[in-house]
Amino acid sequence: MDVILALGITLCKQIIFIGSVGALDNKMGIGDIVIPDYSVCGDGASRYLASEKLADGDVFGEKQYPDKIMLDRLKEATSHICEENRVKWHVGNNFSTDTVFAQFVHIDEIIGLGCNVIEMETAAAFRAATFAGIPMAALFSVSDNTVVNKSLVSGRTSEEMEYRKKVRSELFPPNYYRALS
């Protein structure tokens, strides 16, 4: 959030947030790409931008959206890049959480909110980008999948981890920079 707010006083014209995401859908594999249509606020940082008074700023559960034009451009680029490189990609409904471990007791509730991925930053990042007036969208790489018992600490194969590493290093920087410039 702070980095994006700071970019608001620079000449930055657009932001592509690149990160990792945990899948909550058995159709998503380790290394697949996900583009979120929105992020549900499950974090505390978003509250600082929600209202002048923190007590009035309870935005927990609100959806935050990427810039529509950036989102459409990112989906179009991803479709082309993934087809060309035989990589699976998905549209995600994200839940942004503050915790890696305490989330697990709430997974069914998070899935019940319509979320099929989970990470820690984009609800606050989308809110900050809107506040700063900078178009932003997000691009994720699936790092783990709770619903198929492939957690950050166990269950993932070395082949899955190598595939994820390859997708991130070979597709993300060069292809997306060219496609969205």
Q: Which two tokens stand for residue 88?
A: 């699976």
Over residues 32-63, the pLDDT tens digits come to: 999 999 999 999 888 888 766 656 668 889 99
Q: What are phi and psi of 73, to 5 degrees?
A: -65, -40
Domain of residue 86: give its range.
2-180
- What's the pTM value of the predicted model, to 2 decimals? 0.93
Question: Counting Cβ atoms within 10 Å, is residue 9 exposed (0-12), middle (13-18) or buried (19+)?
Answer: exposed
Torsion region of 171: left, alpha or beta (phi above 0 gives left; psi -120 to 50 gives alpha): alpha
Q: Which distant-in-sequence residues (6+ apart) come within 8 Å of 61 by Cβ?
A: 40, 41, 42, 113
Per-residue model confidence as pLDDT tens digits over 61-111 = 999 999 999 999 999 999 999 999 999 999 999 999 998 888 888 999 999
- Find the CATH number of the domain harbouring 33: 3.40.50.1580
Q: How many domains does the chain have?
A: 1
Residue 159: in which H helix or E strand, if any? Answer: helix 158-170
